[in-house]
Structure 1
Amino acid sequence: MFVAPRPNPALIRVMTVFNRIVMLRGVPGFRDLLPFNRLAGLRGVANVRHIDFPDADRERLKACCGAGKATFITPNHPEFFTDWMIDKEIVSQVSPLAASWATHGVVNGLGRPMQKFWLANNLIAQIPGNSQAAKEHSVTWALQGHGVLLHPEGSVGWHGNVVAPLLPGAVEMGLEALKRGRGTAADFKVWVAPVVWKLAFTGNVEPALAKECTYVERRLGIDRRSADTLPERVHDIYSTLLSRDVGASGMVSDRRLPYDVLQKALLVELSRRLGEVISADTAGDLIELLRLSRRWLRENAGDAERSKKVSALTETIQRLQRLGPWASVSPTVTQEEIAEHLKRIRNDYCKRGLRDTLNRFIPQPAGPRRAHIRVPEPLGLHTFEGSVDEALDELRSRMQEAISGIVAGLDASGGFISYPNPFYHR
Structure 2
Amino acid sequence: MSRIDVFVAPRPNATLIKAMTFVNRIVMLHGIPGLRDLLPFNRLAGLRGVANVRHIDFPEDDRQRLKVCCGAGKATFITPNHPEFFTDWMIDKEVVSRVSPLAASWATHGVVNGLGRLTQKFWLANNLIAQIPGNSAAAKEHSVAWALKGHGVLLHPEGGVGWHANIVAPLLPGAVEMGFEALKRGRLMDPDFKVWIAPVTWKLAFTGNVEAALAKECAYVEHSLKIERRAANTLPERVHHIYATLLSRDEAANGLRPDERASYDTRQKDLLTELGHRLAELVSLEAGTLDNAELLRRSRRWLRENTDGTGSQKQVRTLADTIQRLRRVGPWASANPRITQEEIAEHLKRIRNDYCKGTLRDTINRFVPQPAGPRRAYVRVPEPLGLHAYQGSVEEALAELHDRMQETVTRTMTQLEAGGGFIFYANPFYHR
What TM-score, normalized by structure 1, do the two folds share? 0.99
In the alignment, is the contact (CA less than 8 A) between 1:332 and 1:419 conserved in 2? yes
1:56-205 matches, cutoff 5 A:
56-205=61-210
Aligned partner of 1:398 in structure 2 is 404
**Counterparts of 2:399 and 2:323, CA distance in 1:** 24
Mapped partners of 1:277, 1:303: distance in 2: 14
Structure 1 alignment gaps of length 5 or more: none
- Aligned partner of 1:244 in structure 2 is 249
Q: Give the AA of the match of 1:71.
A: T
Aligned partner of 2:231 among 226, 230, 233: 226
Q: Which residue is equivalent to 1:330?
A: 336
SS at match of 1:283: coil
1:271 positional shift: 0.3
**Which of 192, 213, 218 is residue 208 of structure 1 equivalent to?**
213
Question: Which residue is 1:413 aligned to?
Answer: 419
SS in 2 for 1:225: coil
Map of 1:264 onto structure 2: 269
Moved more, 303-312 or 203-212: 303-312
Instruction: Give the counterpart letter for 2:344 in structure 1.
Output: I
* Residue of structure 2 equivalent to 1:235: 240
Q: Displacement of 1:303 after TM fit? A: 4.5
Q: CA deviation at 1:144?
A: 0.1
- C-alpha distance in structure 2 between counterparts of 1:378 and 1:55, whole Å: 16
Tell me if the contact between 1:25 and 1:43 (Cα under 8 Å) persists in the aligned partners. Answer: yes
SS state of the match for residue 164, structure 1?
Answer: coil
Q: Given the alignment, which residue of 389, 392, 396 partners 1:386?
A: 392
In angstroms, what is the RMSD of aligned CA positions? Answer: 0.6
- Structure 1 counterpart of 2:302, which letter? W
Q: Any conservation in 2 of the 1:268–1:284 contact (CA below 8 Å)?
A: no
Identity of aligned residues (%): 74
Which residue pairs with 1:361 in the alignment?
Answer: 367
Q: Secondary structure at the match of 2:129?
A: strand
Give the Cα–Cα distance (whole angstroms) in 1 for the partners of residues 201 and 261 of structure 2: 38
Q: Is residue 2:50 matched to residue 1:45? A: yes
Q: For the residues of structure 2 that align with 1:345 and 1:412, how far apart are their CA atoms?
A: 30
Q: How far apart, CA to CA, are the structure 1 residues paired with 2:351 and 2:22?
A: 33
Distance 2:69 2:216 in 1: 44
User: How far apart are the structure 1 equivalents of 2:20 and 2:138?
Assistant: 26
Residue identity matched to 1:353:
T
Distance in structure 1 (CA, Å) of the matches to 2:355 and 2:276? 21
User: How far apart are residue 284 of structure 1 and its match?
Assistant: 4.2
Once residues 251 and 399 of structure 2 are traced to their aligned partners in structure 1, the CA distance between those partners, rounded to angstroms, is 34
How many equivalent pairs are there? 426
Q: Which has the larger displacement, 248-257 or 156-165?
A: 248-257
Given that residues 168 and 392 in structure 1 are in contact (C-alpha distance below 8 angstroms), is that contact kept between their aligned partners in structure 2?
yes
Say which of 296, 299, 306 aligns to 2:302: 296
Aligned to 1:17: 22
Residues 410, 416 of structure 1: 8 Å contact kept: yes
Distance, in Å, in 2 between the alignment partners of 1:175 and 1:302 is 38
Once residues 256 and 296 of structure 1 are traced to their aligned partners in structure 2, the CA distance between those partners, rounded to angstroms, is 37
Provide the C-alpha distance between the structure 2 equivalents of 1:112 and 1:240, rounded to a whole number of angstroms.
Answer: 41
Greater Cα offset, 159-168 or 280-289: 280-289
TM superposition outliers: structure 1 runs of 4+ over 4 Å: none
Q: One-letter code of the match for 2:177? A: E
Structure 1 Cα separation of the partners of residues 129 and 143 of structure 2? 8
Secondary structure of 1:382's counterpart equals: helix
- Unaligned stretches of 5+ in structure 2? 1-5
**In 1, distance between residues paired with 2:355 and 2:56?**
32
> Using the alignment, how far apart are the partners of 2:241 and 2:248 within structure 1?
10
What secondary structure, in the 3-state scheme, does the structure 2 residue paired with 1:71 have?
strand
SS of the aligned residue for 1:94 comes to coil
